[in-house]
Every structure is written in structure tokens, then in C-alpha cells.
Amino acid sequence: MNPDDRDTSPAERAARAAEAMHAAEEAARAVRPTQAPAQPQAQPPAAPPDPREGPPEGPHEGLRALTDLFAETGVPAPLAARTAARLGPGAAGRLRDDPWRLLRVPGVGPRQADHFARAVLGPDARPDDPRRGRALVLHLLTEAARAGHTVTPAADVVSALERVQVADPRRAVEAALDEAEVLALTEEPEFDEEAFEEDAEPPEPEETLGPARWALAEEAAAEGFRRLTLTAEPLLDDATVKGLRDGLPEDRSLALTAALRTGVSVLRGTPRDLARTALDVAAAAAGAGVRAAVAAPTDRAATVLAAADGAAVTSLHRLLEPHDDPSGAPGAVVYGRGEQRPLDLDLVIVTDASALDVELCAVLVEACPDGAHLVLCAEPDAPPPAGPGRPLDDLEASETVPVVTLDAAPQSDPIGTLTEAVRGGDLVAVDAPGREVVIVPADGHEEAVHRTVQLVTDSIPRALGIPIDDVQVVTPTTGGDAGATALNTAIKARLNPGPGRFGGLDPGDRVVVAAPLPHAAVGETGTVTGGGAHGLDVEFPTGPTVISPADASRLRHGWAITIDQARGTPRPAIVAVMTPDGLSRPLVTTAFGLAHRHLSVVQGAGPNLAKAVRDTPAPPRRTRLARLMTQ
């Protein structure tokens, strides 16, 4: 974005954006495996090898070199493993060459990066260093992506750069664009028919910036949705469909028809109604010779869903066939299924599609062959995914695919009654004679933690006969005095005290996958059974596995997990710890709806809980997919 850009036309700016997009696509293609496209989840692309760094380092040598560099410069030693995982082999050499690359590591801010740069470069570390400005642009956009945005107005980025004392913000943006990790994208303003005046000048297109990673994922998702829509033909003839519809309620009949006749459809409803309908549609289609699959968010969720019906259900992670691939970028999960090796299926039904961020959505649609039908299921007004984008909401907003809403079945149980009331914006008291719902007041964070430990380790197993293994604590946030980290520390001290022999973990600890692994999706829980130089031994729902030392940092203690991590995987007992931070109506609805037999609500939010349920929707996100679908 040169100063001269103010005199260029929208067409010229669009041409520049297209050229940058093409360059980024070529760069991505160069590092993507032919048969198994690498799909990074919430991880920036690895830097290309630098010939000045010499021969590639092995993981141990690279970590040692990084640890030595951090010791020289006063960086806390625990940051070394996280930095190695993010920047890959040769991280020390890259950081010596460009110390502001440290901003790519989660948790590192501009002040820490500047301090590190002064320690590495000495007097040569200047605020106007082009490397600093370039890194700050990507950092700002990455922070926006962590909040769910795939694009940010260029003017906002320039203003933010000015606040961190970048002397020439526009030059810094240009430098980031030249690296092809950031793209400039022209957004045409939406047409406002009511405000339209015939003689008025049309509004100027808005220039936005976004990490190439998310921009390309949105492009791929939109292209995939359009391809499936255009190549779809009815999976069964009219007579067969009519026979399958006989006797079905109207909403179920519409869901079945949309699944069998259109390439992409969206199905909205309560989790129980969606699960039942997904299984019924898959069974009806399979009975008529259609190759169908139902995909749940995690292996544990797939096991629960299959047990309810005896149907063949898998996790979406497993369906896409993840595997280890040394050629993948650090932090990437490489899937065996993709454009070059699509799924051998005619119908794919995803049970909690609202949790798909734009990258995983792109992988899914690329893995669906021409002519396949894709059904995306989600609750009404479900929370957006933990990662950037909001593909399902954007797809629905584009009005390019059919959307079927299931009629909610009458709720007779206390948990269902409470959840449906919250979904409608009302926090009500429910009659629970069998203690299906228990509200536990907590005055402050310390009491919330104490009550939670008491519920998990004593009250629920003793009074209700639900084993501790079937009790899951959920909370809106990771940090804070009553967030997941604090709750796990307190629960571990009671259930499985130990020194943390293996990177803070001990045999017997429950863990959750906090960043995707080839072995398991985000939100999958397991139990540590051992460990050593070979890695960490973990028992997951699908069986035992070994997590390499480099990947073990992607695990966290899992007695308490965030609501985002828990979504789509119901448990017999849920302890929902409600604190004032991060609450919204969709998040509370999701938390309560996870409980199968019992729900304990540790009420530490006071009146903020009812206010959030009544007034707080999910935060808005800036995305492009809806517009891309209509282009």
C-alpha cells in the first residue's frame, strides 16, 4: 500500500491483490504434498529454509541451539519448546537473522519481541527496521485471526502500527505484502437499497488485509462449495426418495430430500434432534445403496453416537485420514484425503459443523469428490468455531444452499428444558427431582474452584453414582483464577498429585488435545499412561498412542476444558463453571447441552450469567466467505 495507492483505481488495486494471491497460491503449492495436502490448524506457515543456516538441524539439535540463544538473550527457557514447534528446525538461525520472527509465537507481544531484538542485534535494533514493521503487520493480523477474523480493514492496521511506533506504516504493509504471507483484498461495499440515491457517488471499495493462510482457505472453501453444488445430481430416483419420505414428519422429510437431492445443505436443530436425524438419513441412504458416512467432532463423540444407534459413525478427523508427514509445516496436520485422493463416498453428514473453522472446512470440501452431497449440521445460533472464520453462518447468509430447521422435540427432562430456555434467552429455574440439574452458588473465584473440585471428586460420584471418568468440567476460558488451567491444577492436586514428570504431566492425568495432532482432533480427551525419551504414552478412545516429545506440548490437562474444546462431545455429567469472563448466550447453551444425565452449574458469575443469556450473542467476525459464494 504505497502512498500513491490513493490515486489508483479499484481495478488496479484488485489486480495487485490478485497478483499477490496468485503468488501466495504458488508458494503454498510448492510446499504442499501432492497426495496429502497439509492442513495447518491455527498455526502459521513455516518459514522456508534459509541457505545461510547450513544443513538442516534435527529436532534435538535445533532445540538445543534455540535454548542456548534464549539463555544468551534472557528469554525464559520454557518458551523454547513453543518457539521450536512454531518456527520449526533452524529456528535459532532464523531468529538471529530476524529476531522479530519471535512475534509468530503465541503469547509474545511487540514489547517482548523488541526486547529480544535488542538483545540479539544490539544497537542495530531500531524501531524503523523493515523487519520489525513487516513482522508487526503479520502479528496484528494473526491476533485478529485469534479473535475469529479472516480480514481486517487496512486503515485499522495502519492505525495500530502507528500506535506501536512504526515510522512508516504503509511501507511496513508493503513489505508484508511482498512476503506473500499477507494479502490485500478489495471488499466491495454492500448495496443499501434504502439509502440509495440516484445522483450519489457510489461508495469506494474498502481495502482489507488478511493472512494469506486464511484468505486462501476461504477461497478454497467457497470454490469447493460451489463445485459440489454445481456437480450434484440426485443420489436416488424420485420414486425411491418418495418411498423413504413416507411417514416422516415434514421437517425430517425436508432434511432427507435436501440431503439426497442437493450438493450442499445446512441442517439446524437441537443436538439430540440433529443426531437422530443424521443417523436416520444416513441409514435410509445406505439402505438404498448410497455410500454414506456420519462424522462427529471427536472419536469419543463418534463412539457415543454409534452406541445410541449401532450405526457406523467416525470422527471427521479420522475420516480425513491424518498421518505423520515430515514434509509438513510445523504445527500442520497432513490429511490423506483431499483433492488428489477424495473420499469414496456419495453422502457426508457432519454432526457439529459450526465448530469447523475455515481451514478445516476447506479441507473437508476439497476431500468431497465431484457429485458428492455434503450435509452440515449445527444448532441454531451456535457459537462460532474456535479458529478463524464462520463458514457455516457465512454459507447460510449467502443464500446459495438450502437450510432446513428441525422442529424441536418437546423437552420433558430438566436439562433439556433449561437448555432450550437459555437458547431462547431466558435463564429459568427448573424442577429436577432426580437432581438432574443442580445450581451451586459460588462467591468469587476461589470458592468456584473449591466447589468444582468437591463436585468432581466427591458429590457427583457419591450421590449420583456417576464415575469420575464420566464427569467433565467445562468453562468459558483457559486463563483466570477460575479458568481451565486453575481448575485443572486444583483437581489434579486432589485426584492425581505428582511432580509432572513428563513436561508437567504424570501417568493417570487426564489430558485434552489443545492443538491438532495426527493422532486426535482438538477436544479429544485421553489418559496419560507413561512416558520417556520416546514421547508420551496416552490412551485415547481409539486406543493407545505415543505422542512425540515435540507434539506433547499440544496436550493440556483435561479434567477441565473450555466449552469450545468440549462442543459436540456430550458427557454423562457436566460441571459448567460460569465466571463473568467470556460469557455469551450461545456459549452457555452449548455448555448446558453437553450434559447427558446430570448438569451442575457452578454459578460464580452472579447477575452477569442471566445478562449474558438475555443480551449477549456471539461476537461478530469479519469474514469473506459469504461474499465469495455469490461472486
| 163, burial (CB in 10 Å: exposed 0-12, middle 13-18, buried 19+) | exposed
Number of CB atoms found within 10 A of residue 63's CB? 21
For residues 88 and 178, give the distance between their C-alpha atoms in angstroms, rounded to a whole number.
Answer: 22
Look up the pTM and report it.
0.87
Number of CB atoms found within 10 A of residue 401's CB? 19
Is the pLDDT score of 589 beyond 90? Answer: yes
Average pLDDT on 554-567 reads: 96
Q: Residue 53 has what pLDDT?
A: 43
Q: Residue 13 has what pLDDT?
A: 43
Identify the residue with better confidence: 32 or 357: 357
Residue 356: pLDDT band with limits 50, 70, 90: very high
Q: Residue 612 has what pLDDT?
A: 97
What pLDDT, in 10s, does the model give residues 381-397?
Answer: 999 999 999 999 999 99
- Helix 212-231 with 358-367: angle, nearest 10 deg: 40
Q: What's the start-to-end Cα distance of the chain, in Å?
A: 25
What DSSP line would sit under 126-168, residue for residue? -TT-HHHHHHHHHHHHHHHHHTT-S-EEHHHHHHHHHHTT-S-
Using DSSP's 3-state secondary structure scheme, residue 8 falls into coil
Is the pLDDT score of 547 beyond 50? Answer: yes
Identify the residue with better confidence: 48 or 144: 144
What pLDDT, in 10s, does the model give residues 246-284?
Answer: 999 999 999 999 999 999 999 999 999 999 999 999 999
Average pLDDT on 322-343 reads: 82
Is the pLDDT score of 204 beyond 90? Answer: no
Could you tell me the three cell numbers for 361?
A: 472446512
Using DSSP's 3-state secondary structure scheme, residue 504 falls into coil
Residue 42: pLDDT band with limits 50, 70, 90: very low
Looking at every residue in the chain, the average pLDDT score rounds to: 88
- State what percent of residues in the chain have pLDDT above 70: 86
For residues 113 and 135, give the distance between their C-alpha atoms in angstroms, rounded to a whole number.
Answer: 10
How is residue 619 annotated by DSSP?
P
Q: Residue 412 has what pLDDT?
A: 85
What DSSP line would sit under 371-439, residue for residue? T-EEEEEE-TTPPPPSSS--HHHHHHHTT-S-EEEPPPPPP-SHHHHHHHHHHTT-------TT-SEEE
Is the pLDDT score of 619 beyond 70? Answer: yes
Judged by average pLDDT, the poorest of 59-68, 136-145, 455-464 is 59-68
Could you tell me the three cell numbers for 111?
A: 514489547
